[in-house]
A = this chain, B = another copy of it.
Amino acid sequence: MSFAIASAVAPAAEGRWRGEIAPGWDIAGAANGGYLMSIAARAATLASGRPDPVSVTAHYLAPGTPGAIDLSATVLKEGRRFSTVEVSMVGTRPLLHLLGTFGDLGDSASASVDPALVLESPPDLPDPDDCIEVEPTDGFPPPFMGKVELRLPGDLAKAWSGVGAPRVQGWLRLRDGEPMDTLALLVGVDAFPPAIFFSDFPVSWVPTVELTAHVRRRPVPGWLACSFTTRFVTDGFLEEDGLIWDAAGNLVAQSRQLALVPRG
């Protein structure tokens, strides 16, 4: 089942949408947070008539499991270029609340002639064919890895059990050549194993409290180069910062999440 189908929503009533959490998009039984965010964001794009998320924030209320979901989307403001929308997603209980600004990034090509300042480069990765593909398992790596194609440089793939810095970099795309649109980028910002897992920091579970993604541009077709880092684990929290670059070297998304670091 493609991402487009797995994240589809159908109109149910004025401002209300019906969707489904598809099987296989989970990690240890809980649906991937980026995937849930993309479903809520899709409802927001339909409610607002603006096709692209620009800045979206999700707060996670409960783990999502496969099955029917109801979404209600409210357009809080309709501006000239952007609309602000909130979405609540409810399964057997409230799962997620999203607040975001949506627009049309289709004019990126013209915007790109604006002056730009880019002080950081895409990660320096080996060719995707020289990287190691992360294959899904029933445990870890999770079933969700069957939905995205994730390739890690050899040294990182070996560091899996945690010996390096709290950083992970690699290639990402959807399976079966499905193109990544700006909604799929919301899956991308949460698709890698937590950066902290690649360090020797003693933690095995970092539940997301909140995830914010800025979508800066529609990606061109091809592999996405991704980089995720954690700089601070303090007082029971950590942040994870992400950058996603498209195959043409454009910054397409930037993300940050706040996660809990359960006490050992």
Closest approach, in angstroms, between the C-beta of A57 and any C-beta of chain B? 4
Q: Hey, what's the 0/1 contact readout for A228-264 against B, CB within 8 Å counting as 1?
A: 0011111111110000000000110010101001011
Interface secondary structure of A, over-half rule: strand
Of B54, B62, B88, B201, the contact of A209 (CB 8 Å cutoff): B54
Contact A108-B239, Cβ < 8 Å, known A55-B210, A97-B84, A261-B114: no
Of B94, B98, B231, B254, the contact of A120 (CB 8 Å cutoff): B231
The reply to whether B59 and A120 contact each other, CB–CB distance below 8 Å, is no
Interface segment among A99-107, A127-135, A185-193: the answer is A99-107
Interface segment among A4-12, A169-177, A212-220: the answer is A212-220
| CA of A21 to CA of B178, assembled, Å | 49
Within 8 Å of chain B (Cβ to Cβ): is A13? no
Inside 8 A of A199's CB, which chain B residues have their CB? 117
Within 8 Å of chain B (Cβ to Cβ): is A82? yes
The reply to whether A120 and B232 contact each other, CB–CB distance below 8 Å, is yes
Within 8 Å of chain B (Cβ to Cβ): is A153? no
Within 8 Å of chain B (Cβ to Cβ): is A166? yes
| CA of A214 to CA of B230, assembled, Å | 14
The reply to whether A84 and B101 contact each other, CB–CB distance below 8 Å, is no
Quick one: which of A126-148 are within 8 Å of B by CB? none
The reply to whether A54 and B232 contact each other, CB–CB distance below 8 Å, is no
Instruction: Identify 8 residue pairs between A and B in the complex whose beta-carbon atoms are under 8 Å apart, listed by A's number.
Output: A57-B210, A97-B99, A98-B99, A108-B235, A115-B233, A118-B233, A210-B214, A214-B258
